Structure 1
């Protein structure tokens, strides 16, 4: 199977694992060693970006209070069930740190260090970014088995889906990119 890195997975209605019900996952890695992705359409309801900055002491109280609302109120995503205390930032290519930023595609990067959080808060870079706690991981061959078992649909990359749309609209929008809706989606859809 060709690598699905840089594409989306959309959970089928009969997904057996409740943690992945109606999820859209952006795959940051997929190969012989397994796969890794971040859920991009589920938030941690009781947590905001400034909570993270405060907890990690990435700014004093006065600095954090003066942050613009768009920074203070940035949503924190539930990236997945693995290492839920670890943060990951998916972002545009206008932010890159050698040794820290992982190139997913030519214009999408993943960084999991404190410097990217500081940049997001105080330097307005990267221009597009999602912050998630935790990730989704698959052992070698596991994702392929789930795909063959109709657990997921694959959706080609869309910048709007990743960064532009409101989080609550991403599942329906991902289905729409395939020309289907929740109503038309059947648990018996197949992969050839």
Structure 2
């Protein structure tokens, strides 16, 4: 299978519980050793400034911490979208296109360096072959990502918005009721 780095994984109804239910995952890395990503549509109630003082001003609304996935929930991972590939902020490391990881130990990026920034508690990780199996089983749809998906001002609607913009029958997933068993 080709890499899905820089693409979105959109959970199907095959995932009906847990942190991945109706999730949209941005894949930061994917190779023969496995995959790593962050759930971009699960904001938490934690105020970012309380967790990482000084970083809230650089983060996009809503200015909260996001649940990045079930792995290492006690650690934080910042993902930023650069506005210009020529002027990258100190501590930004490219993952795919204009998306990269921002070093939380370094200086807080200043105005104009980033189009957007999100901070995630934990991440989503898959071992060798695990993600490929889940995709083959129909748990995930792999769709193109837009830079704006990572910094959507309305993350609660992102799952249906991403599905709605797809071609063909894939867009019909966006109308799936919250509980398909009640349909």
TM-score per shorter chain, which class? 0.7 to 0.9
Q: Does 1:21 align with 2:21?
A: yes
Partner of 2:106: helix, strand, or coil? Answer: helix
Contact 1:24/1:41, CA 8 A, preserved across alignment: yes
Structure 1 unaligned residues grouped into runs of 5+: 60-66, 186-192
Aligned residue for 1:190?
none
Q: TM-score by structure 1 length?
A: 0.77
Partner of 1:146: helix, strand, or coil? Answer: helix
Q: TM-score by structure 2 length?
A: 0.80
Q: What is the aligned length?
A: 168
- Matching residue within 119, 122, 128 for 1:140: 128
Aligned residue for 1:110?
101
C-alpha distance in 2 between matches for 1:147 and 1:12: 10
Larger Rg: 1
C-alpha distance in 2 between matches for 1:50 and 1:72: 12
C-alpha distance in 2 between matches for 1:74 and 1:170: 17
Structure with higher helix content? 1
Query: What RMSD, in angstroms, separates the aligned Cα atoms of the two structures?
Result: 2.6
Structure with higher strand content? 2
The more displaced of 12-21 and 170-179 is 12-21
Structure 2 unaligned residues grouped into runs of 5+: 178-183
The more displaced of 105-114 and 142-151 is 105-114
